[in-house]
């Protein structure tokens, strides 16, 4: 099956075969075994991306895979054998509410089709467990708000799988912008796209995906525009192009261009598509300098340049870095440089809602995030 995750995995295949960090640095990090608390993770939805998360967890010090939730018994069997998961920590979609009584599980990472996130996250929250939810967090802002409230009421944390928020080159550009090294930000461009394959996959099914390319790969450009510019957009315009109505049924977008305006005067021009390859680029321009990432959101290594030279900070497997950082957020209340909480996911959903509305109306719409 061709999909965003397969596409991104292709970009990062070489990186996954390389050492995640330089040998000398790894030796220094591992010279003293970690003795502190460990975040105990259950994965819900055992598809391709869950496999990457599971492999990433194998290299974590502060997070460990301890539980599985799936609707496919054969996957539960093979995964439990591969990762040595006890039967008492394995559940299906009907009985996973019972994790409420399982003291060996701290957090559930929901990696299922978009339409399932809302109900599953709320059930996990009611079971008293923290939640990590893949992006987009829900189908729309209404669902997202309900998920945020459910987790708040249950006094559990809701985090979203924004792995790029912990990537070193991305964070260096954010640092440069915050330090004023790029000057006044004027423009951002986010290009996110690939040619999607199997027309029968869930990502091309409105009821499961909630849309098309925008809900999948387009989230990167939406979210990236916000953390790169460093402001929340105040207006949006958008246009849709569809060249293959047989493959992209009503409600499933093929290509959407959208523009965002920011209070400081910056504008963003973004593209989300399922019909073009070679689109994974962020470009940020200020009146004192620029920064570019290409590839910008693949599994790495992420590469870029600025007006000061090349950006090629050491690559760490994204899923390992993400889970280490999320363990610190949950266990230590660490505050990340770029938020990854449910409120962050909700803002992206509000923008997605507005983009779809702007496509239909052809009008420039105000945003209030």
Residue 151 CA from chain centroid, whole number = 19
Whole-structure pTM value: 0.91
The phi and psi torsions of 335 (rounded to 5 degrees) equal: -100, 115
pLDDT at 29: 45
What is the total residue count of the chain? 369
Low-confidence ranges of the chain (pLDDT < 70): 1-31
Angstrom distance (rounded) from CA 346 to CA 72: 30
Q: Using the structure block, give the residue that is written with the tokens 């399982």.
A: 102
Catalytic residue check, 220 = yes
Q: Say what the pLDDT of residue 261 is.
A: 98
Q: What's the confidence (pLDDT) of residue 369?
A: 96
3 state DSSP class of 137 = coil
pLDDT of the residue at 20: 40
Catalytic residue among 49, 109, 135, 347: 135
Q: How far apart are alpha carbons 268 and 225 in whole angstroms?
A: 7
Q: Is 34 a catalytic residue?
A: no
Residue pLDDT, tens place only, 161-189:
999 999 999 999 999 999 999 999 999 99
Homologous superfamily of domain range 4-163: NAD(P)-binding Rossmann-like Domain (3.40.50.720)
CATH 3.40.718.10 for domain 164-315+342-366, yes or no, is no
The predicted structure's pLDDT at residue 254: 98
List b or e across 155-191, with b for residues whose CB sees 16 or more CB atoms inside 10 angstroms. ebbbbbbbbbbbbbbbbbbbebbeeebbeebbebbbb
Give the torsion through C-alpha atoms of 113, 119, 122, 127, to 10 deg: -90
pLDDT at 35: 87
Residues 237 and 364: beta-carbon distance below 8 Å: yes
The whole-angstrom separation of Cα 351 and Cα 136 is 11
Reported as half-sphere exposure (CB side, CA atoms, 13 A), residue 281 has a value of 10
| pLDDT score, position 31 | 56
**304: which 2 tokens?**
């870029």
How far is C-alpha 65 from the geometric centre of its chain's CA atoms? 19
Q: Could you say which of 220, 227, 274, 299 is catalytic? A: 220
Residue ranges covered by each domain of the chain: 4-163, 164-315+342-366
Looking at the chain, list the stretches that DSSP marks H as alpha helix, in order from N- to C-terminal side.
4-16, 23-29, 48-58, 73-83, 114-126, 141-154, 168-178, 206-209, 213-216, 218-229, 318-332, 342-361
Q: Which residue carries 């990062």 as its tokens?
A: 12
Q: Is 251 left (phi over 0), alpha (psi -120 to 50) or beta?
A: left
């Amino acid at each position: 099956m061709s999909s965003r995750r397969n596409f991104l995995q292709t970009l990062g295949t070489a990186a996954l075969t390389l050492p995640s960090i330089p040998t000398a640095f790894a030796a220094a990090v591992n010279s003293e075994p970690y003795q502190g608390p460990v975040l105990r993770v259950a994965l819900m939805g055992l598809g391709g991306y869950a496999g990457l998360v599971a492999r990433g967890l194998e290299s974590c010090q502060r997070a460990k895979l301890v539980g599985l939730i799936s609707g496919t018994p054969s996957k539960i069997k093979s995964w439990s054998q591969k990762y040595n998961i006890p039967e008492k920590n394995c559940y299906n979609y009907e009985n996973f509410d019972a994790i409420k009584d399982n003291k060996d599980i701290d957090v559930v990472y929901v990696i299922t089709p978009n339409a399932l996130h809302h109900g599953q996250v709320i059930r996990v929250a009611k079971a008293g467990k923290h939640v990590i939810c893949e992006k987009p967090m829900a189908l729309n802002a209404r669902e997202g708000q309900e998920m945020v409230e459910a987790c708040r009421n249950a006094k559990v944390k809701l985090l979203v799988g924004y792995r790029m928020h912990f990537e070193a080159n991305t964070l260096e550009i954010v640092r440069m912008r915050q330090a004023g090294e790029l000057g006044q930000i004027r423009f951002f461009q986010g290009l996110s796209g690939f040619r999607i394959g199997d027309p029968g996959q869930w990502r091309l099914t409105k009821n499961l995906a909630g849309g098309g390319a925008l809900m999948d790969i387009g989230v990167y450009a939406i979210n990236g525009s916000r953390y790169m510019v460093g402001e929340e957009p105040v207006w949006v315009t958008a246009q849709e192009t569809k060249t293959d109505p047989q493959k992209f049924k009503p409600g499933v977008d093929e290509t959407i261009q959208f523009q965002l305006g920011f209070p400081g005067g910056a504008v963003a021009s973004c593209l989300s598509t399922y019909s073009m390859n070679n689109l994974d680029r962020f470009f940020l321009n200020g009146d004192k300098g620029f920064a570019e990432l290409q590839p910008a959101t693949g599994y790495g290594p992420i590469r870029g340049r600025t007006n000061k030279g090349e950006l090629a900070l050491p690559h760490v497997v994204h899923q390992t870095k993400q889970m280490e950082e999320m363990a610190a957020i949950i266990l230590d209340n660490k505050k990340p440089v770029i938020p990854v909480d449910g409120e962050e996911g909700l803002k992206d959903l509000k923008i997605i809602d507005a983009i779809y509305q702007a496509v239909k109306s052809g009008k420039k719409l105000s945003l209030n995030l």
